């Protein structure tokens, strides 16, 4: 990826805020920044500020790693502020031990917990999903198009690169424009038809209910990429379901069920020859702000249910059936026939995918992208914080 867009721009929300911060107050171990545009002052604890000093002595500009030793904070003078002032868009702090720190107000606004905001998600169902298509030539050569693609991936969880020459090599090239291809026991790029090469329904021509992949891995794969290289026959439409939207409906209909599937583990496993993968995590995973960040839903890959106490078993099944009905409700299932040239990217932490049964010969290729690699690319283009 070219180093063109990497910078720390002042995002739209913060732009008007930066200049509005004019006053600073010191108050019992913390510093407050005041702005007429904010209802409440922004509060930064002294220890946090000292730990986040970005001077050459405290932070290595080339490796972007901290040099400051955390144990220094044990001395009172290290986290005691003598003086602080704001000038233009900089906060300058003089510490009791003689050290001096300068912080960009923009940087402080971007990293305070008080203003931490979630990326805007566009939840969808079968009636309102509009998949965005990005032509191959532009996707490969124009960073703005790649960035737009990433914005779509983050907001809708799905996007398509169109007009890709239908071959494994060109599909790989398309993926690598974004991130490295993830290596798993399936290999890197795979090509499959109904040949049962692996013990998985994906390798047959039967219908597959919507699911997320690799629920048996500790970190399920981040992005799923599919490209239909050839199909002469009927059927085989892909199903796409917005897992986050289904969970929202589920939470509205059964708060108890939502809580149970968010707290009790639903283990997934994969057993084949020498391999035995297993992951014991809840189906619905949240961050510390209690926002849903990952759905692990695959009823076929479930391991024996040893994680649920016996008295809760009937209730657990009631909730799992309830969620499954929402996931299979046609209102939530978007149907899409994949055709040669269209490479679909799906957020495997959010979007469930499946397939209707088909006839004839069908050849698919695809691969996975590791979550960390995908997020790194999105962050590089300032699409993720």
361 binding partner (options Fe ion, Zn ion, none; Cβ < 5 to 8 Å by kind):
none
Span near Zn ion by CB under 5 A; candidates 23-31, 45-53, 79-87, 249-257: 45-53
Q: In the complex with Fe ion, which residue's Cβ is closer, 213 or 347?
A: 213
Q: How far is the CB of 200 from Fe ion (least distance, A)?
A: 8
Is residue 321 part of the contact set for Zn ion (CB under 5 A)?
A: no
Q: How far is the CB of 225 from Fe ion (least distance, A)?
A: 11
Candidate list 4, 13, 55, 271; residue touching Zn ion; CB under 5 A: 55
* Distance in angstroms (rounded) separating the CA atoms of residues 358 and 19: 60
Is residue 58 part of the contact set for Zn ion (CB under 5 A)?
A: yes
Q: How far is the CB of 202 from Fe ion (least distance, A)?
A: 5
Q: What Å distances lie between residue 241 and 28, 154, 349, CA to CA?
A: 51, 15, 12
Contacts of 33 (CB under 8 A, 6+ apart): 21, 23, 24, 41, 42, 44, 86, 91, 105, 108
Q: In the complex with Fe ion, which residue's Cβ is closer, 218 or 312?
A: 218
58 binding partner (options Zn ion, Fe ion, none; Cβ < 5 to 8 Å by kind):
Zn ion
Compute how many residues bind Fe ion; rule: CB under 5 A. Answer: 1
Is residue 53 part of the contact set for Zn ion (CB under 5 A)?
A: yes
Is residue 347 part of the contact set for Fe ion (CB under 5 A)?
A: no
Could you tell me the two tokens for 86? 């704001």
Q: How far is the CB of 158 from Fe ion (least distance, A)?
A: 14
370 binding partner (options Fe ion, Zn ion, none; Cβ < 5 to 8 Å by kind):
none
Is residue 213 part of the contact set for Fe ion (CB under 5 A)?
A: yes
Could you tell me the two tokens for 24? 């600073």
Span near Zn ion by CB under 5 A; candidates 46-54, 108-116, 140-148, 315-323: 46-54
Cβ-in-10-Å burial (0-12, 13-18, 19+) of 179 comes to: buried
**Are the C-beta atoms of residues 182 and 190 closer than 8 Å to each other?**
no
Q: How far is the CB of 92 from Zn ion (least distance, A)?
A: 12
213 binding partner (options Zn ion, Fe ion, none; Cβ < 5 to 8 Å by kind):
Fe ion
Closest among 220, 217, 198 to 272, alpha carbons compared: 198
Span near Fe ion by CB under 5 A; candidates 11-19, 40-48, 207-215, 260-268: 207-215
* Distance in angstroms (rounded) separating the CA atoms of residues 322 and 22: 53
Which residue number has the CB closest to Fe ion? Answer: 213
Q: In the complex with Zn ion, which residue's Cβ is closer, 96 or 140?
A: 96
Angle (CA) 230-235-237 rounded to 5° is 80
Q: What are the φ/ψ torsions at residue 43 (nearest 5 degrees)?
A: -110, 125
Closest among 358, 292, 333 to 209, alpha carbons compared: 333
* Distance in angstroms (rounded) separating the CA atoms of residues 52 and 101: 9
Cβ-in-10-Å burial (0-12, 13-18, 19+) of 31 comes to: buried
Span near Fe ion by CB under 5 A; candidates 83-91, 209-217, 315-323, 333-341: 209-217
What is the number of residues in the chain?
385
Compute how many residues bind Zn ion; rule: CB under 5 A. Answer: 4
**Are the C-beta atoms of residues 64 and 48 closer than 8 Å to each other?**
no
Chain residues in the site for Fe ion (CB under 5 A): 213
Q: Which residues bind Zn ion (CB under 5 A)?
A: 53, 55, 57-58
């Amino acid at each position: 990826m070219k180093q063109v867009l990497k910078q720390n721009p002042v995002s739209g929300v913060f732009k008007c805020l930066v200049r509005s911060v004019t006053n600073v107050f010191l108050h019992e171990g913390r510093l407050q920044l005041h702005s007429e545009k904010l209802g409440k002052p922004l509060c930064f604890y002294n220890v946090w500020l000292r730990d986040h000093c970005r001077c050459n002595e405290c932070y290595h500009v080339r490796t972007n790693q901290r040099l400051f030793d955390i144990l220094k904070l044990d001395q009172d003078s290290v986290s005691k502020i003598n003086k602080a002032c704001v000038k233009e868009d900089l906060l300058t702090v003089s510490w009791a031990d003689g050290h001096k720190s300068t912080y960009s107000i923009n940087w402080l606004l971007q990293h305070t917990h008080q203003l931490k905001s979630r990326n805007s998600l566009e939840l969808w169902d079968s009636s309102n999903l509009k998949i965005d298509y990005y032509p191959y030539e532009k996707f490969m050569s124009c960073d703005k198009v790649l960035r737009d693609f990433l914005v779509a991936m983050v907001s809708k969880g799905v996007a398509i690169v169109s007009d890709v020459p239908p071959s494994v090599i060109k599909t790989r090239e398309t993926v690598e424009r974004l991130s490295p291809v993830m290596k798993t026991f399936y290999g890197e790029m795979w090509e499959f038809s109904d040949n049962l090469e692996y013990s998985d329904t994906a390798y047959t021509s039967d219908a597959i209910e919507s699911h997320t992949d690799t629920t048996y891995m500790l970190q399920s794969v981040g992005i799923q990429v599919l490209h239909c290289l050839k199909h002469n026959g009927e059927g085989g439409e892909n199903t796409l379901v917005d897992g986050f939207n289904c969970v929202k409906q589920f939470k509205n209909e059964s708060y108890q069920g939502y809580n149970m599937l968010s707290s009790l583990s639903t283990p997934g496993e994969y057993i084949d020859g020498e391999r035995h993968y297993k992951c014991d995590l809840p189906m619905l995973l949240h961050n510390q702000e209690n926002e849903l960040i990952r759905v692990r839903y695959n009823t076929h890959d479930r391991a024996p249910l040893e994680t649920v106490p016996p008295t809760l078993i009937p209730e657990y099944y009631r909730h799992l059936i309830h969620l499954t009905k929402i996931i299979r409700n046609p209102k939530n299932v978007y149907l899409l026939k994949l055709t040669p040239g269209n490479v679909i990217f799906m957020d495997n932490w959010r979007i469930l995918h499946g397939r209707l049964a088909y006839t004839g010969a069908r050849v698919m290729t695809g691969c996975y992208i590791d979550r960390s690699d995908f997020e790194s690319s999105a962050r590089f283009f300032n699409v993720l914080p």
